[in-house]
Amino acid sequence: MESHIVKLLDIKPVTHDVLGLKVEKPANYSFNPGQATEVAINDGDWKNERRPFTFTNLPDDDHLEFTIKTYPERSGVTNHLRDLKKGDELIIHDVWGAISYKGKGLFIAGGAGLTPFLSIFRYLNSKNEVSGNRLLFANKMKKDIILEAELNKILEGRVTNVLSGENIPGYKHGFITEELLREVSIQPGDKIYLCGPPPMMDAVLKILDNLGRSGESVVMEI
């Protein structure tokens, strides 16, 4: 099994609880947009605490990037990441993951479930092939939305934000419902990409089933 010690080149806030990490890229290390690796902090007992995170930059970049939601209340790895600074070390492992771009469609993300799609959107954008793709992005509050401006720019406004915790103009309010999925209109032949917390995934899969759009057409991590 692969493991590489990599230095942190930069660490900065992306939202109030999401960090952007830029790290060294080992020689001959490659990934496809949407894929992930297990990451540990190279410090004492933290070395054994491996957690999966998705690469969010372009495969050809000379470094790697992660976009990581932190959970201070759990005192786990993501909380400890908040204390790291440039020059500290991480351990990264094999590349894996089932999410990859399989064609134009609707991307449905909840919170940090955006990350595989962020990588895919940035990659498609770099090749001028993002056209026709749409994002339905569920969060609690507006302040939780990861990279709202960049997503709107890449997708040329084809983003529907739904907020469960506040009702503000320009944003849908509530959870993802069958009505909302009908509203964003899934076209015949569209791929559906799904990534988010398990309760959201279960709810959306149930709705897709009702709409006759579950099964093979849904791309997600299994």
Ligand X SMILES: Cc1cc2nc3c(=O)[nH]c(=O)nc-3n(C[C@H](O)[C@H](O)[C@H](O)COP(=O)(O)OP(=O)(O)OC[C@H]3O[C@@H](n4cnc5c(N)ncnc54)[C@H](O)[C@@H]3O)c2cc1C
Spell 19-35 as b/e; 16+ CB within 10 A means b. Answer: bbbbbbbeeebebebbb
Q: Which of 19, 5, 1, 118 is nearest to 72 (CA)?
A: 19
Verify binding: residue 34, ligand X, rule CB under 6 A.
no
Shortest distance, position 163 Cβ to ligand X, whole Å? 19
Stretch touching ligand X by CB under 6 A, among 52-60, 101-109, 135-143, 185-193: 52-60
Taking CA 63 as the corner, what is the angle to CA 57 and CA 67, rounded to the nearest 5 degrees?
Answer: 40
The site string for ligand X over 105-144 (x = CB under 6 A, - otherwise) reads: -------x--x-----------------------------
- Number of residues counted as binding ligand X (CB under 6 A): 19
Verify binding: residue 202, ligand X, rule CB under 6 A.
no
Verify binding: residue 59, ligand X, rule CB under 6 A.
no
Contacts of 210 by beta carbon, 8 Å cutoff, 6+ apart: 178
User: Between 44 and 170, whose beta carbon lies closer to ligand X?
Assistant: 44
Shortest distance, position 33 Cβ to ligand X, whole Å? 12
Verify binding: residue 52, ligand X, rule CB under 6 A.
yes
User: Between 43 and 190, whose beta carbon lies closer to ligand X?
Assistant: 43
Shortest distance, position 137 Cβ to ligand X, whole Å? 14
Residue ranges in 65-84 that form contacts with ligand X under rule CB under 6 A:
66-69, 71, 74, 76-79
Shortest distance, position 221 Cβ to ligand X, whole Å? 5
First to last CA, the chain: 21
Shortest distance, position 76 Cβ to ligand X, whole Å? 2
| Strand-pair partners of 162 | 138, 172
Verify binding: residue 217, ligand X, rule CB under 6 A.
no
Residue ranges in 172-201 that form contacts with ligand X under rule CB under 6 A:
none
**The only residue of 20, 34, 97, 196 in contact with ligand X, by rule CB under 6 A:** 97
* Interface contacts to ligand X, rule CB under 6 A: 36, 51-54, 66-69, 71, 74, 76-79, 97, 112, 115, 221
